[in-house]
Chain A
Amino acid sequence: DAKTTQPNSMESNEEEPVHLPCNHSTISGTDYIHWYRQLPSQGPEYVIHGLTSNVNNRMASLAIAEDRKSSTLILHRATLRDAAVYYCTRIIQGAQKLVFGQGTRLTINP
């Protein structure tokens, strides 16, 4: 099964870091790991992606385990606007398809 596994929901407080885990134990060596987030009634928004090394951008950091069977999206300082459903996905090489799991609904408390 190519789907990823994430906790259904997580909760954090504003201005605190958030670590969103994802398991992708069946990932192949060439599949990239992508993270997207989705606000209600909107299309998903790209957050970050990586292959083997840890990655940083202005939105978040992505820590990828050495065996690539799991990864963690890190929001360094959560804001209320970060409340969304976060999807950890795999892009199937060649087909360029994204395989979405169930996602994690992140709630940020003020």
Chain B
Amino acid sequence: GAVVSQHPSWVICKSGTSVKIECRSLDFQATTMFWYRQFPKQSLMLMATSNEGSKATYEQGVEKDKFLINHASLTLSTLTVTSAHPEDSSFYICSAIAPRSYEQYFGPGTRLTVT
């Protein structure tokens, strides 16, 4: 099946700094990728839809200036958490839709801890 990777798998950063998370589709091209956030023992919350070559579409309540999304190529989308705060500590997961498929392939997730 299709594979989606994320890097890094975990990151610790200091409050006020920015951190970038990469999401790659390894064996297929993805015009659309999605970014989710998941707090402990909670479900996945969709943050934004990332479209190659255009601006991301953010879900209601998600700050676009804080969570910068760039989908520069058909295999790479990045999420940058700017001016991170401890409350941004969470598990961030990306997904991509393979061509001619209804299936979304999820990355393994990135655990962000802001100290």
Interface residues of A (CB under 8 A from B): 32, 34, 36, 41-46, 49, 87, 91, 95-103
| Given known contacts A32-B102, A49-B102, A98-B34, A43 and B95 CB-to-CB distance under 8 angstroms | yes
Number of A-B pairs whose CB atoms are under 8 Å? 51
Contact of B28 with A by CB under 8 A: no
How far does the alpha carbon of A97 sit from the alpha carbon of B51 in the complex, in Å? 12
Give the CA-CA distance A102 to B45 in the complex, in Å: 10
With A44-B44, A98-B104 given, name 6 new contacts (CB 8 A). Answer: A42-B109, A45-B106, A46-B103, A99-B46, A100-B45, A102-B42
Binding site for A on B (CB under 8 A): 1, 4, 6, 32, 34, 42-46, 49, 91, 93, 95, 97, 102-109, 111
B43 engages A46 (CB within 8 Å): no
Which residue of B has the minimal Cβ distance to A87? B43
Chain A residues with CB under 8 A of B104 = 34, 46, 98
Asked if A41 and B111 sit within 8 Å, CB to CB, the answer is yes
The answer to whether A91 and B109 touch across the interface, beta carbons within 8 angstroms, is: no
Q: How far is the CA of A91 from the CA of B97 in the complex (A)?
A: 12
Measured in the bound complex, the distance between the Cα atoms of B40 and A91 in whole Å is 24
Nearest B residue to A98 by beta-carbon distance?
Answer: B104
Secondary structure call for the A interface: strand
In the bound complex, residues from chain B placing their C-beta under 8 Å from that of A42 are 108-109
Which B residue sits closest to A99, measured CB to CB? B46
- Quick one: which of B43, B106, B107, B111 has the most chain A CB within 10 A? B43
Min CB distance A35 to B, Å, is 11
Residue in contact with A100 in the complex, picked from B43, B91, B103, B108, CB distance below 8 Å: B43
Could you jot down 7 A-B contacts, CB within 8 Å? A43-B6, A43-B93, A97-B34, A97-B46, A98-B34, A100-B44, A101-B43
How many angstroms between the C-alpha atoms of A99 and B111 in the bound complex? 22
- In the bound complex, residues from chain A placing their C-beta under 8 Å from that of B103 are 46, 49
